[in-house]
């Protein structure tokens, strides 16, 4: 995570078509109905309960996750701040309880929440209480209801675990500083290395939870540091004391301290008891030092977390923010957690790549370029850890939105963007959609994180977007290419509809996410053929008795990277499904000829189920 400025969203509740969607800044006197309550059998709406459609989805940790920056998604009470109930009320948008892949449902089956705990900032990455919900976001009862409703839809929920640092307003820190001031005779003195003298630690044992030192001296074990003074008062001004901190107002914890480890263990177990399914680990590079780190110590602590969590819940899922480069592979080799985010194939790695450059040319996308891009790193993590799951993503709250990279394209920009989404979802592993990416929200990271954390664009009215980013220009840039959700959701050619079809196809054909791609040669330089093979485990009942066995799934994925229609040999194949950038043009298989529409991705059976 990165530090950011405070932000409040100030926009009224918007009516979307014939139903209401709670957006950031709702009017509390308006209708309290939501997108979710318009169709969910779990709500109190009148009429018969729906018959739930079963897609027989594999219940494991391979998922289509949806990353929600809580304050920016959906506001249920009109205070201008997104909240837990707002998410809960709109769960049927994320995955409809009756039909997970209804036309109005995105179809994800995992949710990753940004920090939800009490904090003095809008981003909540500086926690003051690990065991409660920030009042701006709601109550514990509302969180428990959200978890129940998510699980009813087959959605797993993971929290953002912020363990490197706490807020300088956290009582763990403020009480310690108060005691140090009360023992100023010993807690204002430093040894020759610039560290607090032992007498201070004897008088105030809690001081060992943090890394204090005299300004200008080194930290123990040569840890690099970011000296901070927020909250120290006269300890800083009169005695030149500083502490290691991630950023202003953020105090690093000494993770060797047993009291800190117990705190984190209690936290992990507490929220699992509340129904949480796993965690994203924030800022793991900084666990032992800031930026220049002791990687061995970092890995040891990551494994400590994994042991605590998996002992409590064996099927929990843990993904780490990880180094923003190839260093994540080294971490995966030395730790037991499930995943590290693949920054190399996010916005950070896409810019200036050969695939990026090829998008600008007419018919410039070649099979070699596309394959090299999507296959790179696919098996790198599993080579060092056979149980690893790739955590693929394109955008997040720190790096900005991938849409920005496609905004500069002139010709067929939306169609190429859809194709890119389709290609990236062929990579083995999980995929994390950042809220708003499914509708093409633009958010270019600059010196202000808020551009990448803007309010979700549920709708617009005569006055334009009312749940809007706080900085000038972002709405208009999005509108040049895309529309708000309420218009996209009824448009078969919208970006939303394309993403909806991606999640549907990945649910129906589990080999796409769970097996490595194998390239099949083709003479046309703009045709990419990939094989995927997967043997699904048998379905078991609660007594581990086999209910259902599955045939081996053998897919051929045919991708037309051209803006022209292509016809290739389809002998021995069966067309199962396709992703089309233009809903009026469908790829077909007839008389052993496979006709691929421009930028289409066809899913074919090559002899399995």
The arithmetic mean of pLDDT across residues 241-248, rounded, is 93
Q: Picking from 212-221, 324-333, 381-390, 395-404, which range would have the lowest pLDDT averaged per residue?
A: 324-333
In tens, the pLDDT along 278-307 reads 999 998 988 987 655 678 899 999 999 999
Position 488 in a domain? yes
The pLDDT score that the predictor gives to residue 579 is 98
Residue at 5 is within a domain: no
My answer on whether 243 and 380 are in the same domain is no
Same domain, yes or no, for 152 and 248?
A: no
Helices (H), 170-323: 171-182, 184-187, 198-203, 234-237, 258-273, 295-312
CA-based nearest residue to 246, from 210, 197, 196: 210
Find the domain containing 193 and state its range: 167-252
Residue where a domain stops, chosen among 504, 528, 546: 504
- Answer yes or no: are the C-beta atoms of 457 and 467 closer than 8 Å: yes
In a domain, 8, yes or no: no
Do 185 and 227 belong to one domain? yes
Q: Is beta strand 553-560 parallel, antiparallel or unpaired with respect to 527-534?
A: antiparallel
Contact 106, 438 (CB under 8 A): yes
Do 413 and 369 fall within a single domain? yes
Who has greater pLDDT, 12 or 424? 424
Highest mean pLDDT out of 37-41, 90-94, 218-222, 326-330: 90-94
The answer to whether 347 touches 400, Cβ cutoff 8 Å, is yes
Query: 84 and 98 share a domain?
Result: yes
Which range, of 75-84, 232-241, 448-457, 543-552, averages the lowest pLDDT?
448-457
CA triplet 9, 91, 102: central angle to 5 degrees?
A: 125
Q: What angle do CA 407, 577, 564 make, to 5 degrees?
A: 50
The count of C-alpha atoms lying within 13 angstroms of the C-alpha of 441, restricted to the half-sphere facing its C-beta, is 31
pLDDT reported for residue 375? 92
pLDDT at 442: 86
CA distance 453 to 436: 10
List, for residues 125-150, the tens digit of each pLDDT value.
999 999 999 999 999 999 999 999 99
Same domain for 279 and 205: no
Q: What is the pLDDT of residue 530?
A: 98
Domain end, chosen from 452, 479, 504, is at: 504
Q: How far apart are CA 224 and CA 203, in angstroms?
A: 27
pLDDT bracket for residue 40 (50, 70, 90): very low
pLDDT at 447: 61
The distance of Cα 264 from the centroid of its chain, to the nearest Å, equals: 22
**Beta bridge partner(s), residue 460:** 465
Over its C-alpha atoms, the chain yields an Rg (Å, rounded) of 25
Whether residue 7 is contained in a domain is answered as: no
For residues 427 and 379, give the distance between their C-alpha atoms in angstroms, rounded to a whole number. Answer: 10
Quick check: is 116 in a domain? yes
pLDDT digits (tens, 9 = 90+) for 566-593: 999 999 999 999 999 999 999 999 999 9
What's the CATH number where 588 sits? 2.60.40.1180
**How far apart are the C-alpha atoms of 454 and 479, rounded to whole Å?**
15
Q: Which residue has the tokens 């009862």?
A: 141
Same domain assignment for residues 125 and 137: yes
Neighbours of 480 (CB within 10 A): 10
Contact 424, 392 (CB under 8 A): yes
Q: pLDDT, tens digit, for every residue of 340-380?
A: 998 888 888 887 788 888 888 888 899 999 999 999 878 77
Over range 149-160, report the average pLDDT. 98
User: Average per-residue pLDDT in the chain?
Assistant: 86
Residues 174, 180: Cα–Cα separation, whole Å: 10
Helix residue spans in 183-294 (DSSP H): 184-187, 198-203, 234-237, 258-273
- Looking at residue 16, its pLDDT comes to 36
For residue 509, being part of any structural domain is answered with: no
Are residues 348 and 361 part of one domain? yes
pLDDT confidence band for 32 (50 / 70 / 90): very low
- Give the end of a domain, one of 252, 277, 292: 252
| Ramachandran area for residue 575 (φ above 0: left; ψ -120 to 50: alpha; else beta) | beta
pLDDT tens-place string over residues 452-498:
888 888 887 533 333 444 444 455 567 777 888 999 999 999 999 99
CA distances from 500 to 14, 57, 402, 483 (A): 23, 16, 18, 16
291 plus 230 within the same structural domain: no
What's the pLDDT at 29?
34
- The token duo for 155 is 């959605």
Q: How many CA atoms lie within 13 A of 19 on its CB side?
A: 22
- Find the mean pLDDT for residues 257-284: 97
CA dist list (Å): 396 to 68, 283, 296: 9, 14, 27
The structural domain count of the chain equals: 3
Q: Are residues 464 and 322 in the same domain?
A: yes
Hey, which bits of 345-403 come out as E strands? 391-393
Does residue 401 sit within a domain? yes
Whether residue 40 sits in one domain with residue 132: yes
Residues 242 and 279 in one domain: no
Burial of 258 (0-12, 13-18, 19+ CB in 10 A): exposed
Residue 145 lies in a domain: yes
**Residue 53 pLDDT grade (very low, low, confident, very high; cuts 50, 70, 90):** confident
């Amino acid at each position: 995570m990165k530090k950011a400025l405070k932000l409040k969203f100030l926009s009224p509740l918007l009516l979307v078509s014939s139903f209401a969607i709670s957006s950031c800044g709702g009017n509390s006197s308006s209708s309290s109905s939501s997108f979710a309550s318009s169709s969910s059998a779990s709500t109190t709406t009148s009429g018969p309960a729906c018959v739930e459609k079963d897609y027989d989805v594999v219940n494991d940790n391979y998922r289509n996750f949806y990353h929600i920056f809580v304050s920016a998604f959906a506001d249920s009470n009109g205070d201008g701040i997104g909240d837990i109930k707002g998410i809960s009320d709109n769960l049927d948008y994320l995955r409809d309880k009756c039909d997970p892949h209804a036309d109005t449902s995105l179809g994800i089956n995992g949710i990753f929440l940004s920090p939800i705990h009490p904090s003095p900032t809008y981003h909540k990455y500086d926690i003051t209480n690990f065991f409660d919900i920030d009042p701006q976001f709601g109550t514990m009862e509302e969180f428990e209801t959200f978890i129940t409703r998510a699980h009813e839809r087959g959605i797993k929920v993971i929290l953002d675990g912020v363990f490197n640092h706490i807020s300088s307003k956290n009582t763990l820190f403020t009480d310690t500083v108060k005691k140090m001031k009360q023992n100023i005779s010993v807690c204002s003195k430093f040894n020759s290395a610039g560290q607090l003298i032992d007498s201070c630690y004897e008088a105030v044992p809690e001081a060992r939870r943090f890394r204090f030192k005299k300004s200008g001296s080194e930290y123990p074990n040569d840890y690099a540091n970011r000296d901070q003074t927020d909250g120290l008062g006269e300890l800083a001004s009169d005695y030149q004391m500083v502490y290691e901190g991630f950023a202003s107002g953020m105090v690093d914890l000494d993770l060797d301290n047993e009291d800190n480890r117990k705190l984190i263990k209690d936290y992990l177990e507490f929220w699992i008891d509340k129904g949480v399914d796993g965690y994203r680990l924030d800022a793991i590079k900084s666990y032992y030092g800031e930026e220049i780190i002791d990687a061995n110590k970092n890995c040891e602590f990551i494994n400590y977390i994994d042991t605590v969590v998996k002992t409590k819940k064996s099927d929990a899922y843990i993904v780490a923010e990880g180094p923003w480069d190839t260093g994540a592979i080294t971490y995966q080799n030395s730790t037991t957690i499930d995943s590290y985010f693949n920054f190399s194939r996010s916005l950070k790695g896409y810019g200036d790549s050969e695939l990026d450059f090829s998008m600008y040319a007419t018919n410039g996308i070649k099979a070699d370029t596309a394959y090299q891009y999507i296959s790179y790193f696919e098996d790198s993590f599993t080579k060092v850890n056979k149980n690893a799951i790739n955590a693929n993503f394109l955008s997040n709250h720190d790096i900005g939105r991938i849409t920005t990279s496609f905004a500069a394209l002139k010709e067929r920009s939306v169609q190429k963007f859809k194709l890119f989404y389709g290609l990236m979802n062929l990579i083995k592993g999980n995929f994390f959609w950042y809220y708003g990416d499914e509708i093409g929200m633009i958010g270019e990271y600059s010196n202000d994180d808020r551009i990448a954390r803007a309010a979700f664009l549920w709708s617009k009215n005569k006055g334009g977007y009312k749940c809007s980013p706080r900085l000038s220009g972002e709405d208009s840039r999005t509108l040049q290419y895309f529309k708000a959700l309420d218009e996209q959701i009824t448009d078969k050619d919208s970006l939303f509809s394309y993403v909806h079809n991606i999640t549907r196809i990945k649910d129906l054909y589990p080999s796409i996410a769970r097996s490595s791609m194998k390239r099949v040669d083709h003479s046309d330089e703009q045709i990419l053929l990939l094989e995927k093979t997967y043997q699904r485990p048998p379905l078991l009942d609660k007594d581990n008795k086999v209910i259902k066995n599955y045939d081996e799934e053998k897919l051929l994925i045919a991708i037309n990277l051209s803006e022209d229609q292509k016809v290739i040999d389809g002998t021995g194949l069966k067309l199962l499904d396709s992703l089309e950038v233009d809903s009026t043009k469908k790829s077909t298989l007839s008389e052993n000829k496979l006709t691929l529409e421009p930028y289409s991705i066809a899913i074919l059976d090559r002899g399995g189920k």
